[in-house]
Amino acid sequence: MTVAASISDRVVIDIRDVSIRYGDMVVLQPVTLQVFAGTIHGVIGPAGSGKTSLLRSINKLSVELDDATVSGRIEIDGNDVLALRGDALAALRRKVGIVFATPQPLPRTVFENVAFAPRMAGVRDEGALRATVERALRSAQLWDEVADRLDLMASQLSGGQQQRLCIARALALNPSVLLLDEPCSALDPITTRRIEDTLVALTPDVTVLLVTNNIRQAERIATRTSFILMGELVETAPTSRLFAEPRDSRTRDYLAGRFG
């Protein structure tokens, strides 16, 4: 396995002075962060540091579903996410896939899980749908395992296969960005490796933001890594530099396992 593609000059996700709170509780202090095109950007830190809240704010889920208050500015390819409403927000979300920690396949067949979003987007031609399903499953490195079982209920797949199916579902509309929140937290090491290989293979066509409590996962596949602690962005650097020469003593202590 190799680390994702080298850093490009184009910023895809531009986070400026973003803070998040739930009622009176501040979970993220003002954060400024750039995620570059075609890379995997890892976000590490102890549980409760604000990593997931930041991730869910990038496509506005934290505001619409979690009742969070988000201030600052989040841009994806120049679009101000926090200002979007209605059809404009829906259009953006079609380009920003998201995968959660626990696999959440739809109560449908393997085929219909992947075809669901294209159908919702208006694709009706069965040939086009089948081509899309195959492409997405291949991208998620699942096609060879399910090609002859597309009519199987998704719930009958293994946990690792379900998670890769969720990745395939997120890829069905050709997103430019993929957000992942602890996608391997419930998986065994072999399946974790398959997921990691999948993510590396997606670059440079897709920009990945990966929240993980597994610091070795970030070290293995992330191009750049950010360390967040108790709602504060402590530092961001190319992953090799962050792990070899962290500039902040808190980062050094966390990577050494002295807390978290």
Locus of tokens 């990577």:
255
pTM value is 0.92
Q: Identify the burial level of 217 via C-beta atoms within 10 angstroms of its C-beta, where 0-12 means exposed, 13-18 middle and 19 or more buried.
A: buried
- The pLDDT tens digits of the residues spanning 194-250 come to 999 999 999 999 999 999 999 999 999 999 999 999 999 999 999 999 999 999 999
Structural domain 1-95+175-260, CATH architecture = 3-Layer(aba) Sandwich (3.40)
* 8 A C-beta contact, residue 136 and residue 169: yes
- The pLDDT tens digits of the residues spanning 89-129 come to 999 999 999 999 999 999 999 999 999 999 998 999 999 99
Domains of the chain, by residue range, sit at: 1-95+175-260, 105-173
Query: Is residue 157's pLDDT more than 70?
Result: yes
Average predicted confidence (pLDDT) for the chain: 94
Report long-range pairs for 22-25 (Cβ below 8 Å, ≥24 apart): 22/66, 22/67, 22/68, 22/69
Beta bridge partners of 109: 153
pLDDT confidence tier of residue 168, bands split at 50, 70 and 90: very high
User: Which residue from 242, 169, 220, 214 is spatially nearest to 51, judged by alpha carbons?
Assistant: 214
- The pLDDT tens digits of the residues spanning 7-61 come to 678 999 999 999 999 999 999 999 999 999 999 999 999 999 999 999 999 999 9
